[in-house]
Amino acid sequence: MNPFQFTRVTTPKAAITAITKESGTYFLAGGTNLIDLIKREVIKPERLVDINKLPLATIEKTATGLRIGAMAKNSAVADNELVRKHFPLLSMALNAGASAQLRNMATVGGNMMQRTRCAYFYDTSMPCNKRSSVQAGPDKGQANGPAGCGAIGGHNRMHAIFGTSNKCIAVHPSDMCIALVALDATVNVSGPKGDRKIPFSEFHRLPGELPQKDNTLQPGELIMSVDLPTNQFAEHSHYLKVRDRASYAFALISVGVGLDMKGKTILNARLAMGGVAHKPWRLTAAEEFLKGKAATEANFKQAATLAMQGAKGYGENDFKLTLAPNSIVDALKTATKTA
């Protein structure tokens, strides 16, 4: 492991100041992803800024919904009474992720910032545009390995079918983020230029020509909290995760569903998928179609067909083109209790 400096801060202002002083500086929260990246030398930090003492772990009701601090542990959020009662989709998604030990360490902000688990990204001898670019993240040019996307034409069973580019077909690994994008969350951040709000659907980004950029944070910005607006989806929510084994495995396909229903009629719908894109993938066309429709299998299948427009397989992951729509239908059936 390469030597690095270590700084501990106790206020958001001090954290922002510390990370903007020099390049190669990273925030350290639970470390459940960052430490792996350091061990594999995917990143080589000059300094780690420990933010575990920041007072950002509260979960509190607000006038418009719920605010979750960026330092709240995944397990604490999943088990919180307000979350389980009013936002069960989030609780389900969190409990589907990783293992109990990791959920006890991982934070909400860290979960949002985690990098792809693409094998080519983690192997510094293999080609990867996310890792090799001289513009890559806060490390500003600590390039590892050759350029290119090894997954295109290589082993790509876990990879994206939506929003890809010729630079990258990696997927975002989070379960929590699928629920947050479906629930119309807002991210509150603070940085050298002040505070701002980012709609969760705009927080993560597609690879395009800059696959090394996972999100829309500006240099030196710190995630403070996430706001969830009040909704009517609590009675009809479901998170379906299809994976190779029942625990500690990333999604081949995941589907988050929240429905507002009156009898058998869907008044409003929220759907998102994981395991399919470089960012949490919101299914807006399917949502619009389902509004005002009866909760029938025929309507679910049509919504799934709309959701799959633009999907493209890369060989080993072609099975997702069938698994994804089937999973959407299955998740909708469960959410409406019409299986």
Is 50 exceeded by the pLDDT of residue 134?
no
Is 90 exceeded by the pLDDT of residue 6?
yes
Is 60 exceeded by the pLDDT of residue 20?
yes
Mean pLDDT of 55-82: 98
The single residue listed with the structure tokens 């909708």 is 332
pLDDT for res 133: 59
Region class of 197: left (phi > 0), else alpha (psi between -120 and 50), else beta? beta
The single residue listed with the structure tokens 């876990």 is 158
Q: What is the pTM of this model?
A: 0.95
* Strand partners of residue 254: 241, 274
pLDDT for res 2: 85
What CATH fold (topology level) applies to the domain 237-336?
A: Enolase-like; domain 1 (3.30.390)
Mean pLDDT of 277-284: 98
* Mean per-residue pLDDT of the chain: 95
Is 50 exceeded by the pLDDT of residue 110?
yes
Is 50 exceeded by the pLDDT of residue 136?
no
So where are the chain's domains? 237-336
pLDDT digits (tens, 9 = 90+) for 243-265: 999 888 999 999 999 999 999 99
Is 80 exceeded by the pLDDT of residue 185?
yes
Mean pLDDT of 146-162: 97
Mean pLDDT of 231-236: 97
- Cβ distance 270 to 290 under 8 Å? no
pLDDT digits (tens, 9 = 90+) for 305-331: 999 999 999 999 999 999 999 999 999
pLDDT for res 280: 98
Stretch among 28-32, 80-84, 134-138, 169-173 having the lowest mean pLDDT? 134-138
- Cβ distance 238 to 331 under 8 Å? yes
- Cβ distance 25 to 45 under 8 Å? yes
List phi, psi (to 5°) of 294: -75, 150
Mean pLDDT of 127-144: 62
H runs (alpha helix) in 158-313: 176-182, 284-290, 297-307
Is 80 exceeded by the pLDDT of residue 102?
yes
> What proportion of the chain, given as a percentage, has pLDDT over 70?
96
